[in-house]
Amino acid sequence: MGPRALLSPGVLVRTGHTVLTWGITLVLFLHETELKQQEARGELLQPLLFILLVLCSLLLYLAVSLMDPGYVGPDPEAPSPPPQKEPKEEQTAMIPEKTFRLRRCGYCLLQQPLRSKHCRSCKRCVRRFDHHCPWIENCVGERNHPLFLAYLAVQLVVLLWGLHLAWSGLHFRESWQSWLPHNGLLFLTFLLLSIFSTVVTLLLASHLYLVASDTTTWEFISPHRIAYLRHRPDSPFDQGFARNLARFFCGYGAVPWEVLYAQEEKGEAV
């Protein structure tokens, strides 16, 4: 690995995330928080559980950050990666000809399947493109979106627990001049955890809302720029709360988006 690869944005972001995570964890263990008190009493269950949750969040982060989000390959007719499945014969027969036309990407010159978009940061087209996340330095798309939500959920638990631990170590009985040198780092950690907890909470809530209505962030923000949404009030792929969640997390009843779009168009025409 050359110097340029070591200084690439992805390596720097992932290294920064890892260092910050373990740095905050170390601060919580070094100050007079509940973790340190439990450790001093020999009660190791909660400290070990906290470490395991931090490690789990880091592993999920690296998995989401490093995995293929669903890049469009050179063959537009190839089967889509999970959770998409090949359409059944009767479903394929329902698709009227010329209902829609595949768009050719102006950057990589590939035909884009429905709901895919070219990411300028990754320089690739991504299936069911949601957004490019600078915090993971990767796109969130068809393949890693469910894992991205799992990462957010675990990360939120860690952040809220860390926020509680940081607060447990802040004692305001001393004067400000004598308190700040001993608790300044822990207070800074508390502020960082407060900001991160708020951001992750909003992000997780917004993604769960979009998943429940089968809409991506890109489709929600820019429907006027997307041909299949430009003149529609809602998503043509929405099959109801329960089916949307089952298809997203488990791949249950998943079919290509072209089939759902054609079925929706046919239903409106009738």
First-last CA distance in the chain: 59
b/e per residue, 235-253, with b = 16+ CB within 10 A?
bbbeeeeeebebbbeeeee
263 with 238: CB under 8 angstroms?
no
Residue 132's beta-bridge partner residues? 139
Tell me if residue 125 is catalytic. Answer: no
Among 119, 125, 133, 139, which one carries the catalytic annotation? 133
Phi, psi at 233, each rounded to 5°: -80, -20
**Element housing 13 (H / E):** helix 9-30
How far apart (Å, rounded) are the C-alpha atoms in residues 22 and 45?
19
Catalytic site residues? 133
